[in-house]
Amino acid sequence: MPLDLNSPFARDIAHHIHPQTNLRLHESEGPLLIDRGEGVYVIDADGKRLIEGMGGMWCTSLGFSETRLADAAARQMRHLPYMQVFAHRSTGPVIDLASQLTTMAPGPSAGECMDKALFACSGSEANDTAMKLVWYYHHAIGKPEKRKIISRRRGYHGTTIASASLTGLPNMHQDFNLPLTGVLHVTCPHFYREGKPGETEAEFVERLAQELESLILAEGPETIGAFIAEPVMGTGGVVVPPEGYFARIQQVLRRHEVLMIADEVICGFGRTGEMWGCERFGIQPDMLTCAKQLSSAYFPISATLVSRAIYEAMLVESDKLGNFSHGFTYGGHPVGAAVALETLAIYRERDIVGHVRQVSPRLLDGLRALESHPLVGEVRGVGLMAAVELVQDKGTRASFPSARKVPGYLAAAVQRRGVLLRGRDDALLFSPPLIINEAEIDIILNAVAEGLDETLAWLRQDG
């Protein structure tokens, strides 16, 4: 049948630019149209139920039909649908949210919490803000030359000009004239891919710490302002740091007075089996960014949390310049704050973090049972985030040529079995809603096992 040019499918192809999508391919394949959601499931326009094994985009922690969040948004919409927080204005929801976040967040030293919260609408904006505050802080303390920021290859911190520069993925830089000058990248802490033959994990950690220190010394400690890291790399492949990695990294940072920025946009609010990834891995940040699960993605909201020392420097600059000249129209949106407050309440009342600890072994152990499969080189993960690394040779750990698009084929095979996952680079990624139960995890595991077999048969057929 000819394509109905007035259908949503056709109009999407005609008018909608999709992020992180092969635009030419989209013109021929078109979209997967999602109509509604129920719990961990989404239902497409044809009525097919699919487990959303990525939680949308690492974010829909409470599933797709949490009425308490919808009701919280509706109540706030009726009461006060919008108010800006520039120039001394504020609202009850944003005050309550700032208070809760700064109280619960990990701080720059044991027993301390963050001091202030600054709100925006996305993780990209939160990390952009953190980058600006690094510069603002060092101007205030008389060290404006400490402006370079060190990130890590394969790290993901957003897609704005600044946050995409911090991101360590080549496709985010190519032909965008990125990264910006002054953003440096060090080795990804993925022992499976980056470890040298015969090297122990402890030796790998020491090598990475020495690499960081050598870079700081080569550039000049007086020029290095901050180091930014996700506790567990998300988009870069669910890279779990080796034991002791962050302890050694932070020793180097403190020695050279370099700020630590923890990007908790994916890891925050229970994803790793702790409320914060920082708690899981012993990170003591000077700044912390969060988004995504802050509202279970029901409303766009993010926060940059800062230590007392950072805020005191902001006071100095505000005095000097007459104003803190930063902010976003929708930062501190009262509806977003109300939804986030209700999300945090649900996390507490239902012990979502405890639930993650209870069910995550089902996912991780079930995936590790697939490590004997000819296509699986490594299974890694923590809490309810995981990755299956695909290889064409288990002995040499050789990856498939990117042109073969093997992870994409596997993701499509899994989708045909009713589960949405993400195939990226050499891996299949997992980040289901935190409310998922063991029976639903088993559906994912069965779909992946069958999908691996189908993918292997396809590869063998193609020689």
pLDDT in tens, 29-41: 999 999 999 999 9
Residues 304 and 387 in one domain: no
- The torsion of the CA quartet 410, 411, 414, 418, rounded to 10 degrees, works out to -170
In the numeric block, which tokens belong to residue 75? 């109540």
Is residue 79 pLDDT above 90, yes or no?
Answer: yes
Output the pLDDT for position 401: 92
Cα angle value 221/224/225 (rounded, 5°): 130
3-state secondary structure of 194: helix
Q: Which domain holds residue 374?
A: 32-65+351-461
CB 341 within 8 A of CB 97: yes
pLDDT (tens digit per residue) in 186-224: 999 999 999 999 999 999 999 999 999 999 999 999 999
Tell me if 22 is assigned to some domain: no
pLDDT (tens digit per residue) in 107-128: 888 677 899 999 999 999 999 9
- Count of structural domains, the chain: 2
CB 430 within 8 A of CB 386: yes
Is residue 1 pLDDT above 60, yes or no?
Answer: no
Is residue 261 pLDDT above 70, yes or no?
Answer: yes
Separation of CA 417 from chain center? 26
Q: Which of 287, 321, 349 is the last residue of a domain?
A: 349
pLDDT (tens digit per residue) in 323-340: 999 999 999 999 999 999
CB 353 within 8 A of CB 243: no
Residues 269 and 393 in one domain: no
Output the pLDDT for position 3: 66
Residues 272 and 397 in one domain: no
Residues 333 and 254 in one domain: yes
Residues 343 and 361 in one domain: no
- Alpha carbons within 13 A on the beta-carbon side of 22: 6
CATH number of the domain to which 283 belongs: 3.40.640.10
- Tell me the pTM: 0.96
The predicted model gives 404-412 an average pLDDT of 95
Q: Which of 296, 330, 349 is the last residue of a domain?
A: 349
Residues 115 and 264 in one domain: yes
